[in-house]
Structure 1
């Protein structure tokens, strides 16, 4: 698990959008066509749609000819003229938002067919386009000959999307389920950006904090003592990571006392959490990144997170440094911008090796002495997010990630 573990790099410019596909009816068509599409242009025109996207003025003019979307109102001079009504403004605003606000690199979420979870994709082209050809789903008929499913997607206003993984609806936090249950076709999920990324990555960073999540997989009643101990363990992440950066060994009970003192003194650079203790449920953590080299901090924090939640064994950490091996933390795509340059490390980093060795020693002590970490993991059936995100990353505008791996010093 440790090797090839990914830490997603979040940028402030990246937005998250929910696109409604008629309650999932057209989700398969979205994926098959590599698109998202909305019906609002058809509503505005009510007939033949031009081959090029019309201007906002033309769309407004079309809506004004439709009694469903406009009404007569008195002007200041006492004369009547047609104005858009509430429905007309909604259609225009949805077209405007779809065409202008969704940009390449934005994360797209849509609800799947038959309430079968949610799909995630990345917008790969900012410019919208008109396509008159319907999208149909290939299938094999009963007689073995190729054919198409009965339903087809005829919405003509589209944008290109590279689709990736799907997840079960039960995985979504309550706040995200609520945000995606409204009536709008195009909805911003920026207020839930962190929780959305927690669904597909176990770790991600914005350069100021490292975000980490645990999934509580138990279907039984949640043990309150186990939850309390989990919070205690997670509270030690920052302090343990600092110990690993110092290439030292730490007594966890002593760290706990230091954390209690820090809270009483009002320190702000501590781990913060949110949680939904359902069964199953989630716990989300934010660890501040302050001071030392950014990549060294991230590496140490990742190891501390995994150690204190029982997700990694001493043997696996040792594999990063065995037989002249040396751990690596590399940016998947070298985009050459200032944001990603912050995450670059030397090809051979002795500091990462020292951190890994310190973490391995800590893991051995935890396994032999501190059985509470293992018991908490077992009681709550803790796990981390395991989603195949390769398709979201493997192109120019895809999500960039840091990957943990290993190399050899003599290469």
Structure 2
């Protein structure tokens, strides 16, 4: 594995994720090819024919327009002509308001049809546009199955990134795509989508790890148990390196005998056991003096103890001290390594030096804990998705090549 290409992403707690349905999926390719997302909730109540405009009708005006349509409203009891929204009208208004005012620039947008899921980042405010949206088709495709024309009035610009085969999605992700509403808030499922596209990611409190079981054979209990134990051992080794600078191989025995308290090794895992399947782990960072440094160190230790890399692989990475202008303090927030390259370089160098210093002990631990057997037996892999499109712009996801060239964070 080319560890210098692995990415670590940052998830801002203020960033939300939204599912926007493409009229039953038939407009997903229109979305992707034209870098947009749209809804048709104003199409039958609002007249707009002047091209693109950011002058959207306000909430009260939309409510009034919807109430004028008999199929979206009903007479208020006890009156002759006072109308109020019925259930359909209320849903229509709320969905418009969500799209127009609750989705933010920088939020993740997902959409799907029966074959694929696409992931992107919202890059504009909502706007009106009456121009038709088309997609490229070959003459043969047009003859056999001509694509419909998208005429939704309300739109947003989206920078689309990875595309996934729906049949290969984890069940946990597939379940989030259920439901009937055009727009669904996926905030509580945000981690599932980050696990889908990134091998490692952080927020201000946790490091998240995305291991995927790709074997088609029955999953061996001992291999899975060994992997989960190794992830806990990784957390212990990281603490030992931070405090003492060296790892203690006696920690292996202590861990297996439950001599280390569960409150100390508090990593957790969500698992979808299958062949293939997923193991999504979460490592607390709040117990470390320097969370950013701990995140990078834990990534390196995970690669070794899960069998993705050898301890010696880190010997070839730059580990010399780097001159840094900014003052580095143990209380640096994790996000600082994403917005200050010099800080990332310093912390990366420190992590690599720690691994190199403990290389022999970590190799022994990896052998003793059968890391290679676990990796090969489960056919473990990490997501290696091309995410550059949703990172390399003003509102993109902050991400770094955690052990990459200091002069090339992507």
- TM-score norm. by structure 2 comes to 0.86
1:361 counterpart = 2:364? no
Unaligned runs of 5+ in 1: 331-336
* Contact residue 311 and residue 355 of structure 2 kept, 8 A: no
Q: Which residue of 1 aligns with 2:269?
A: 273
Secondary structure at the counterpart of residue 32 of structure 2: helix
Mapped partners of 2:140, 2:8: distance in 1: 46
* Contact residue 64 and residue 83 of structure 1 kept, 8 A: yes
Residue pairs, 1:166-245, within 5 angstroms: 166-245=163-242
Q: Which residue of 1 aligns with 2:278?
A: 282
Mapped partners of 2:159, 2:218: distance in 1: 39
* Contact residue 14 and residue 107 of structure 1 kept, 8 A: yes
Structure 2 counterpart of 1:156, from 153, 156, 176: 153
Mapped partners of 1:205, 1:406: distance in 2: 20
- Report which of the two has the higher share of strand: 1
Structure 2 counterpart of 1:312, from 309, 317, 340: 309
1:32 counterpart = 2:33? yes
Q: Which residue of 2 aligns with 1:66?
A: 69
Range with greater deviation from structure 2 (344-353 or 63-72): 344-353
Q: Which residue of 2 aligns with 1:20?
A: 21
Structure 2 counterpart of 1:341, from 331, 336, 345: 336
Residue pairs, 1:386-397, within 5 angstroms: 386-397=384-395
Residue pairs, 1:18-167, within 5 angstroms: 18-45=19-46, 52-75=55-78, 81-112=82-113, 115-125=114-124, 127-141=125-139, 149-167=146-164
Mapped partners of 1:14, 1:194: distance in 2: 12
* Contact residue 304 and residue 359 of structure 1 kept, 8 A: no
1:300 counterpart = 2:297? yes
* Contact residue 327 and residue 353 of structure 1 kept, 8 A: no
Cα distance change of structure 1 residues 259 and 394 upon mapping to structure 2, 3 Å threshold: farther
Mapped partners of 1:210, 1:82: distance in 2: 53
Q: Which residue of 2 aligns with 1:333?
A: none
1:3 counterpart = 2:4? yes
CA drift of 1:33 comes to 1.2
- TM-score norm. by structure 1 comes to 0.85
CA drift of 1:379 comes to 1.8
Mapped partners of 1:288, 1:150: distance in 2: 48
Q: Which residue of 2 aligns with 1:334?
A: none
Mapped partners of 1:342, 1:401: distance in 2: 9
Cα distance change of structure 1 residues 348 and 175 upon mapping to structure 2, 3 Å threshold: closer
Q: Which residue of 2 aligns with 1:405?
A: 404
Range with greater deviation from structure 2 (290-299 or 83-92): 290-299
Cα distance change of structure 1 residues 72 and 311 upon mapping to structure 2, 3 Å threshold: same
Over aligned residue pairs, what C-alpha RMSD do you find? 2.9
CA drift of 1:391 comes to 0.5
Range with greater deviation from structure 2 (19-28 or 240-249): 240-249
Q: Which residue of 2 aligns with 1:247?
A: 245
* Contact residue 199 and residue 384 of structure 2 kept, 8 A: yes
**How many residues are paired up?**
386
Mapped partners of 2:75, 2:100: distance in 1: 28
Mapped partners of 2:77, 2:81: distance in 1: 4
